[in-house]
Amino acid sequence: MELDNVVELSLLYDFYGALLKEHKREIFEDYILNDFSLSEIAAEKGMTRQGVYDIIKRSSKELRLYEEKLSLVHKFQMTKEMVNQIQSLAKEIGGYNENVEKIQHISTKILDEL
Amino acid sequence: MELDNVVELSLLYDFYGALLKEHKREIFEDYILNDFSLSEIAAEKGMTRQGVYDIIKRSSKELRLYEEKLSLVHKFQMTKEMVNQIQSLAKEIGGYNENVEKIQHISTKILDEL
């Protein structure tokens, strides 16, 4: 799978993965997050390579549908970008100011948690 | 319905409502957001009062299940709280500083969009 897709799907999975059925989650994780091949997963699960492929396709479609309906990944990304701007602006401010220190601290905390 | 529940369900609906089936969405909106009574909705939809009640119960359960699995409302609320703190801290800083102005502006934008 192309790297762009892996990045996109990892992000979607991070948000909506918990909505996939257990069986789909295991296979999706093995393929997208743990980088096993279709054949390796097929052997491990006692399935055909095509069966594994279908599950990954269907899971990807399901995750994309959640984002299409909810746009929460997009919303989070926008917020993250703006908090990044705040952090940079706070860092640029010279001299010591307690509030500016706190703003830096809080923005770092938000970025760690998002 | 108690006000606490209405507030909670409105928030959940705001995040996950798009995942409910159209029919459920209409009834849920009429009851929770537009404050129609069960009887009014029943008359309008040609359903029994009990039927309307069941759909609202099931929709509420579905929305709560999404939050139980994804915790995205919680995540957003935490972020919102921290951005609120940043905004207050920036407001407290005396004197003119371009970066502080920008931080205030961006934090307001985040809060408007979250």
The amino acid occupying position A58 is R
Q: CA dist A60 to B18, B66, B82, Å? A: 19, 18, 33
Distance of residue B77 Cα from the nearest chain A Cα, in angstroms: 11
pLDDT at B43: 97
Cβ proximity of B114 and A114 under 8 Å: no
- The label of the residue with tokens 């296979």 reads A27
pLDDT at A39: 97
pLDDT at B1: 72
Q: A90–B79: do the CB atoms touch at under 8 Å?
A: no
- Cα A75 from Cα B112, distance rounded (Å): 12
Does residue A4 register a pLDDT over 90? no
The whole-angstrom distance between residue B31's C-alpha and the CA centroid of its chain comes to: 15
- Chain A residues lying within 8 Å of B113, measured CB to CB: 75, 78-79
- Chain B residues lying within 8 Å of A64, measured CB to CB: none
Interface test with B, best of A65, A103, A108 (most B CBs within 10 A): A103
Cβ proximity of A86 and A107 under 8 Å: yes
pLDDT at B60: 97
* Tally of residues, chain A: 114
pLDDT at B15: 96
pLDDT at A94: 77
pLDDT band at A11 (very low <50, low <70, confident <90, very high): very high
Q: A100–B107: do the CB atoms touch at under 8 Å?
A: no
Q: A114–B75: do the CB atoms touch at under 8 Å?
A: yes
| Shortest CA distance from B15: residue in chain A | A70
pLDDT at B4: 79
The amino acid occupying position B35 is D
pLDDT digits (tens, 9 = 90+) for A52-84: 999 999 999 999 999 999 999 999 999 999 999
Q: Would you say the C-alpha torsion A99, A104, A109, A111 has a positive or negative sign? A: positive
Q: A89–B99: do the CB atoms touch at under 8 Å?
A: yes
pLDDT digits (tens, 9 = 90+) for B93-106: 978 899 999 999 99
- Cα A96 from Cα B90, distance rounded (Å): 14
Sorted by sequence, the CB contacts under 8 Å of residue A5 that are 6+ apart come out as none
Q: B106–A114: do the CB atoms touch at under 8 Å?
A: no
ipTM of the complex: 0.85
* pLDDT beneath 70: ranges in chain B: none
